[in-house]
Amino acid sequence: MKIIYFFLNGWIVFLGFVFAKMPHILFYFFVCFFAFLMRLIDKRRFYDAMANLDFVYGDHYSKEEKIAIVRQCYKNFVFVLLESMRLPYINQKKYFDRFEFENENNLLDFLREKKSVVLVSAHYGYWESLGSAMPLRVQKVVQNYEEYSFFSLGRLTDFDFINQLIIKRREIFGVKLIDKKGAFKKLIKIYSSKDMIVGTGILVDQNISKAEGIEVQFFGKRATHTTIASLLSRRFDIFIVPILIDFNKDYSKYIVRVLEPFKAMHTQDMQKDILECTQRQADVIENMIKKNPSSWFWFHKRWKSFYPEIYQKKITR
């Protein structure tokens, strides 16, 4: 396993360095090229994305428009992968200059007041930069940055050498990765600490089992949704801050949209409080997807828990 790790790590380091040093126009060419290859090889993702678009939009978009969205989805996916590979070798100032921040005080005001928060996002646009752009921005504009601790939830694999590669890339900017398995107990302990001011990034748009989540409405359909952010908000009386990060057509500029914060109610009806807060998270993400459908990661089987049949039909290109 160590040999495999060193081999893979060596290739990732080499390719990441090469991608980091080449002109952006050439990097964009490789994004398009690998996305094209992926479309040829990975028919499963194409099918799942089309199934989702048919299920959600019906005849609202033509077949050609849906295919265009899926093709963009492949490009977005490849961009995120290649950008993650080259991130350690990019000049931080040049990297940070690509970002524009919209309504950033929706988050920074809490940090200036030394209040913990929960950051929620989705597999939308350049989602991986939640763990790079925001820490850099906070470090630049908030005093006593060293007092803050930032975490992100991620799904690790059964292979330690793969996990080492994931963690190494995710923690470049000081954001500690927490495995989704058993994450809630770890987060309870972290947020309970009186010596920490905490911000945790959670991607909340994937399908999970009915036992793990709660039912919400997403695009007018039944879907499961994680309750972690809602439970933390209610238990510790802290705000949830939605952040969604989009990009322009050639991935040379990114816009960080820090949306209106909210928190879970704390009434005698805990189930209702959690449901309302979780539904609000789903609504925020849905509204952003509607504005720019091609930026969402349509490959996920988002509605599998309630409508598994939509992923079983065959589709022709």
pLDDT in tens, 195-219: 778 899 999 999 999 999 999 999 9
Q: What is the pLDDT of residue 252?
A: 96
The torsion angles phi and psi of 255, rounded to 5 degrees, stand at -120, 125
Q: What is the pLDDT of residue 248?
A: 96
Residue 266: count of CB within 10 angstroms of its CB: 11
pLDDT grade for 317, boundaries at 50, 70 and 90: very low
d(CA 139, CA 202): 20
Mean pLDDT of 164-170: 72
Which pTM does this prediction carry?
0.92
pLDDT in tens, 235-250: 999 999 999 999 999 9
Torsion of the alpha carbons at 281, 84, 304 and 313, rounded to the nearest 10: 140
- β pairing state of 214-218 and 221-225: antiparallel
One-letter amino acid at 283 equals D
Quick one: tokens of 138?
């906070």
Instruction: Check pLDDT > 50 for residue 89.
Output: yes
Mean pLDDT of 279-292: 97
d(CA 217, CA 228): 17
Q: What is the pLDDT of residue 271?
A: 96
- Is the Cβ–Cβ distance between 124 and 297 less than 8 Å? yes
Mean pLDDT of 250-264: 97
Quick one: tokens of 77?
């996916």
Mean pLDDT of 27-45: 96
Q: Please give the residue that has the higher pLDDT: either 177 or 215.
A: 215
Write the DSSP assignment of 253-274 as a string of letters.
Answer: -EEEEE---B----SS-HHHHH
Q: How much of the chain, in percent, has pLDDT values that exceed 70?
A: 94
d(CA 41, CA 103): 40
- Is the Cβ–Cβ distance between 213 and 165 less than 8 Å? no
Q: What is the pLDDT of residue 148?
A: 85
- β pairing state of 197-203 and 239-247: unpaired
User: Could you tell me if residue 133 is left (phi over 0), alpha (psi between -120 and 50 degrees) or otherwise beta?
Assistant: alpha
Quick one: tokens of 287?
């509204």
d(CA 98, CA 4): 35
Quick one: tokens of 304?
């599998």
pLDDT in tens, 113-141: 989 999 999 999 999 999 888 888 888 88
One-letter amino acid at 230 equals S
pLDDT grade for 159, boundaries at 50, 70 and 90: low
Instruction: Check pLDDT > 50 for residue 38.
Output: yes
Mean pLDDT of 277-306: 97
One-letter amino acid at 225 equals H
**DSSP 8-state class, residue 216:** E
d(CA 207, CA 223): 7
- Is the Cβ–Cβ distance between 82 and 34 less than 8 Å? yes
Q: What is the pLDDT of residue 12?
A: 85
Residue 223: count of CB within 10 angstroms of its CB: 24
Mean pLDDT of 26-41: 97
Instruction: Check pLDDT > 60 for residue 315.
Output: no
Cβ-based neighbours of 227, under 8 Å, separated by 6 or more: 213, 214, 274, 278
d(CA 282, CA 216): 7
